[in-house]
Amino acid sequence: MATSEERKVRHKKAMQRKKEHIDNKIEKATIDKGLIVVLTGNGKGKSSSAFGMLARSVGHGLHCAVVQFIKGVWETGEHLMFQDHPLVEFHVMATGFTWDTQDRDKDIAAAEATWKEAARLLQDESIDVIVLDELTYMLTYGYLDKQSVLDTLTSRPEMQHVIITGRNASPELIEIADTVAELESVKHAFDSGVKVQKGIDY
């Protein structure tokens, strides 16, 4: 068995190698550009991560916008927090799509009206960061034209960041993104019969 002295030496060496590796990476990362960040998968944490980045951005005084493509039943904390904030323009899909929707034509009209706001923001150089919350569903259900969404995203101002959330992000969206994370559900309280909790879920 290694003595505690040997373990200390080994640990120090491993940490040095790690530091060199990271320093090397930091040195190579010299590009400054607007990113497309996609947060997808079935696990919890997509929208809350997006709003975490929004809070960071607002903290830095960046001009932000949010477009939420699903109007849930609960008034969300993020909406209450940011709707009147001078640095945030906040849009929530007014009517139509909710999880228990039944009217496809109405949903498409609502999706298109909401996308119009997003498309305008995606051409506005004064907006630094845009959250497109639950956008992926509009593409998986075919409510919006995928190619036109992709074109609008890729032709946005060079320094503008876009954060997109929702399950089942399409391969084309993943392709044009710079950072993609897939959240995996390990367990969720909901499956044990726990109701949605204020602050944690909405």
Q: Say if CB 121 and CB 161 are below 8 A apart.
A: no
The verdict on 141 binding ligand ATP (CB under 6 A) reads: no
The least CB distance from residue 182 to Mg ion, in Å, is 14
- Please classify residue 61 by burial: count the beta carbons closer than 10 Å to its beta carbon, then call 0-12 exposed, 13-18 middle and 19+ buried: exposed
Give all strands of the β-sheet with 64-68 in edge-to-edge order.
88-92, 64-68, 129-133, 161-165, 36-40, 179-182
Site string for ligand ATP, 25-64 (x = CB under 6 A): -----------------xxxxxxx----------------
The verdict on 194 binding ligand ATP (CB under 6 A) reads: no
The verdict on 140 binding ligand ATP (CB under 6 A) reads: no
The verdict on 190 binding ligand ATP (CB under 6 A) reads: yes
- Find the binding residues for Mg ion in span 34-73 (CB under 5 A): 46-47
Distance (Å, rounded) from C-alpha 181 to C-alpha 25? 20
Total residues contacting ligand ATP (rule CB under 6 A)? Answer: 17
Distance (Å, rounded) from C-alpha 74 to C-alpha 95? 14
Strand partners, 180: 38
The verdict on 165 binding ligand ATP (CB under 6 A) reads: yes
The least CB distance from residue 36 to ligand ATP, in Å, is 17
The residue within the footprint of ligand ATP, chosen from 89, 107, 128, 201 (CB under 6 A), is: 201
Interior/surface letters 127-153, b for 16+ CB within 10 angstroms, e for the rest? bbbbbbbbbbbbbeeebbeeeebbebb
Residues interacting with ligand ATP, by CB under 6 A?
42-48, 134, 165, 167, 183, 185, 188, 190, 196, 201-202
Residues at the site binding Mg ion, with contacts judged by CB under 5 A: 46-47
